[in-house]
Amino acid sequence: MKILILLTSHAMLGESGQKTGLWLEELAVPYLVFTRAGAEVELASPLGGPAPIDPKSEKVASAEVKAFLADPKAVAKLHATTKLSTLTGSYDAVFVAGGHGTMWDLPTSADVARQLSRTWQDGKVLAAVCHGPAALVGVKDEKGQSVVQGRRFTAFTNEEEAAVGLTKVVPFLLESKLTELGGHFEGGPLWASHVVRDGRLITGQNPASSKGVAEAVLDAVRAAKR
């Protein structure tokens, strides 16, 4: 089983002057779920090299985050992500980790749109958590339509964005944007784990959803291999 985890390369929170990047829990938890299941995991980002980490996510280190940071192989991958445009292999699934950085670079990246569109059109599993679904903005299905059109999804909600005070900082509201593209949004309670699976499209609402999304990815990949 080969799984690609896509990370942001964007490190600044708009014009706020604050640092951002990936939310560490949303990388660490899925990485451990996948590798403990025997999957081969590669980390990639639009620019390659070290992926920026939101400093706030380092202050709330869970047991899984600590385990990830204690794994030299995992940390080495994080500090030397593969440049997305250079990937040549195929993957059973692509998982997009969240963090506010994703809102700036992943929706506008031609490389992201190309990789994720190919993943979907090849019949593979496409997953994202929290702000990770921002990567779906430019992704097309086999009919040339948005991959979320007519499909159920979840993501960091407008209400959660308001709760963290960043509604006017982010370039768009993720729930609203994907709904405008034809997706059917399904939200759960604020900050609680909430996972939506619509066939090969798997999305999670917030950091607490990371484990549930990763486990759903494994289930979907295994089902496809039967």
Tell me the C-alpha distance between 194 and 180, whole Å: 21
Task: Inform me whether the pLDDT recorded for 204 exceeds 90.
Answer: yes
* CATH topology assigned to domain 2-225: Rossmann fold (3.40.50)
User: What residue ranges in 156-213 does DSSP mark as E strands?
Assistant: 184-185, 195-198, 201-204
* Residue 155 DSSP SS3: coil
Domain boundaries, the chain: 2-225
Supply the residues annotated as catalytic: 130-131, 161
Task: Inform me whether the pLDDT recorded for 190 exceeds 90.
Answer: yes
- Please state, rounded to an integer, the average pLDDT across all residues of the chain: 97
Other beta carbons within 10 Å of 191: 14
Q: Among 9, 10, 75, which Cα is nearest to 44's? A: 9
- Tracing tokens 């990485």 back to the chain, one arrives at 31
Task: Inform me whether the pLDDT recorded for 89 exceeds 90.
Answer: no
Global pTM value:
0.98
Tell me the C-alpha distance between 104 and 183, whole Å: 20
CB 42 within 8 A of CB 93: no
Q: Which two tokens stand for residue 140?
A: 């097309």
Tell me the C-alpha distance between 144 and 161, whole Å: 30
Task: Inform me whether the pLDDT recorded for 140 exceeds 90.
Answer: yes
Q: Which residues contact 118 (CB under 8 A, 6 or more apart)?
A: none
Tell me how far CA of residue 125 lies from CA of 6, 86, 157, 183, in angstroms: 13, 21, 23, 17
Predicted confidence band of residue 176 (pLDDT cuts 50, 70, 90): very high
The residue-averaged pLDDT of 113-125 equals 97
Task: Inform me whether the pLDDT recorded for 34 exceeds 90.
Answer: yes
